[in-house]
Amino acid sequence: MSNGSTFPPHRRPRGTLLAALAALVAVALAGWLIWRAQGGEPPRAGAPAAGGAPTGGADPAGGGTPPPEKKGGGGTEPPGALRGKVVVLDPGHNPRNREHGHEIARQVQIGTDRKECDTTGTATNDGYAEASFTLDVARRARTLLQERGATVVFTQDGDRPYGPCVDERAAIGNTAHADAAVSVHADGSAAGNRGFHVILPERVRAGAADTAAIVAPSRALGERLVSRFATATGSAPSNYLGGGTGLDPRSDLGGLNLSKVPKVFIECGNMRDPKDAAQLTDAQWRQKAARGITEGITDFLTR
């Protein structure tokens, strides 16, 4: 029976088959070219698709390389950026100094003079002690620095009955051969005096003090701390010291005079000013302060 075609129903013309085969080859070739243009690798599970959305679920337990840490200035730092670096953090004063007035009043040599072993530090009008503030911020900064691979040494971690004395604080940094040392403090100036500042070592040569080798690198560390701390916290440099630079060179601090490694003090704000005190007593702001300190140290040690 005829079906309107000159060919049997179970056969197709050779030309039709060849056309279909050519079309399949063209499609396959186009797909291969696209694959090569994208790098020649199949997408990994969880990798972004062309539109940017993940193609699979992320592994909450990790197992891969963590993303680079975002920097306060908008860049990134790999987690191991400070591997091999030693950082000494010196939380100012000690929460138990008040119980050891006789011991901390003992005079020690700082090169240019003799001064008290340590002091109690200041406090906010509501009684939040500088010594508590410094330990909290230093511990937060330690965590961040360790995440970047640094070895972090503390002069005290609330584990001593008092002190240590200012000369021992410097010696701890020297013995550790620190690449950078930062003493964390908060000021006790008059109300209305606001902002943070970084204290730098001046050129001193007297007795056991000789800062010639550390003046320049300490200034570089201080400048980076000022920049990063301002960015991280939103605070302005001191309006009562440093002429707006946030930098205050001094020659009367044993922790700086006796240091053989780059070292600075950072006064994170004025505890006696109500507006500054509101920041210093806020845990979220203290985390920002710790990040600013971490960023400044990182900038100094990686550039």
- Decide which of 172 and 18 is more confident: 172
* 46 in any annotated domain: no
Q: Over 90: is that where the pLDDT of 254 sits? A: yes
From 48-62, 172-186, 228-242, 270-284, the region with the lowest mean pLDDT: 48-62
Give the CA count within 13 Å in the CB-facing half-sphere of 157: 9
For range 272-289, the mean pLDDT: 98
164 cis-preceded (ω within 30 degrees of 0): yes
Q: Over 60: is that where the pLDDT of 60 sits? A: no
Q: How far is CA 231 from CA 71, 140, 225, in A?
A: 10, 17, 10
Give dist(CA 219, CA 52) in Å, integer: 44
CATH code for the domain in which residue 255 is found: 3.40.630.40
From 64-78, 146-160, 281-295, the region with the lowest mean pLDDT: 64-78
Q: Taking Cα atoms as reference points, which of 166, 162, 230, 221 lies closest to residue 195?
A: 230
Q: Over 60: is that where the pLDDT of 154 sits? A: yes
Give the model's confidence band at 36: pLDDT under 50 very low, under 70 low, under 90 confident, else very high. very low
* 89 in any annotated domain: yes
Give the model's confidence band at 43: pLDDT under 50 very low, under 70 low, under 90 confident, else very high. very low
Give dist(CA 234, CA 15) in Å, integer: 76
- Number of domains into which the chain is organized: 1
- What pLDDT shows up at residue 39? 36
For range 54-69, the mean pLDDT: 32
* 67 in any annotated domain: no
User: Which residues contact residue 120 at a Cβ distance below 8 angstroms, ignoring those fewer than 6 apart?
Assistant: 93, 97, 98, 104, 129, 131
- Across all residues in the chain, what is the average pLDDT? 83
- Decide which of 215 and 16 is more confident: 215
Q: Over 80: is that where the pLDDT of 140 sits? A: yes
- Decide which of 137 and 42 is more confident: 137
* 6 in any annotated domain: no
- What pLDDT shows up at residue 72? 39
For range 49-64, the mean pLDDT: 30
Give the model's confidence band at 78: pLDDT under 50 very low, under 70 low, under 90 confident, else very high. confident
Which residue range(s) make up the domain with 218? 79-302
* 267 in any annotated domain: yes
Element (H, E) at 108: strand 107-109
Q: How far is CA 105 from CA 35, 114, 152, 159, in A?
A: 75, 11, 29, 20
* 137 in any annotated domain: yes
To the nearest whole percent, how much of the chain has pLDDT over 70?
75
* 210 in any annotated domain: yes
For range 19-48, the mean pLDDT: 42
Strand 86-91 versus strand 114-116 pairing type: unpaired
Q: Over 50: is that where the pLDDT of 44 sits? A: no
Give dist(CA 138, CA 35) in Å, integer: 51
Give the model's confidence band at 26: pLDDT under 50 very low, under 70 low, under 90 confident, else very high. low
* 11 in any annotated domain: no
